[in-house]
Copies of this chain bind each other. A is one copy, B any other.
């Protein structure tokens, strides 16, 4: 792709060179150009080919790559600690409950959110606590955050 691009430019350059030479030759033959007008022609050619050189340069030259390192604040970790999560053997519901717990939900709130009875939530919460080896919701939330299993 890049090679073809370069080659394209070289080809174009050659064609333009050939055409200009031909035009010059034709002008010489057509108008019997005077010897002392040769400088003007040379000047024109010089100008033209300078322009051509500039154009070729802009097209062919590889751009300078400038690497800028930007320090961006990234939350400590995008991803949850799956390893620690699996160690606890929490099932889907228990994990859901844990997440709501960390949002400050009461058992009644969680029950409403998940369309379950408070009894069920209490069961899940109790099982969650024993699996996490804690004794209260605040401890559970604290531990979960420190382990990185919830954000």
Residues of A that sit less than 8 Å from B by CB: 13, 17, 20-21, 24-25, 35, 38-39, 41-43, 45-58, 61, 63-77, 101-106, 134, 136-143
B38 in contact with A49 (CB, 8 Å): no
Closest B residue, CB atoms, query A50? B53
27 A-B contacts, Cβ less than 8 Å apart?
Answer: A17-B43, A41-B42, A45-B45, A45-B49, A46-B49, A49-B53, A50-B50, A50-B56, A53-B53, A53-B54, A53-B56, A54-B56, A54-B57, A63-B63, A63-B64, A65-B66, A66-B66, A66-B68, A67-B68, A69-B69, A70-B72, A71-B72, A72-B72, A72-B74, A73-B77, A104-B140, A141-B142
Specify how many copies of this chain sit in the oligomer: 2
User: Which of A54, A70, A101 has the largest number of chain B CB atoms within 10 A?
Assistant: A54
B50 in contact with A21 (CB, 8 Å): no
Known A20-B46, A104-B143; judge A73-B74 contact (CB<8 A): yes
Closest B residue, CB atoms, query A105? B138
Closest B residue, CB atoms, query A38? B38
B102 in contact with A142 (CB, 8 Å): yes
In the complex, chain B residues whose CB is within 8 Å of the CB of A66: 63-68
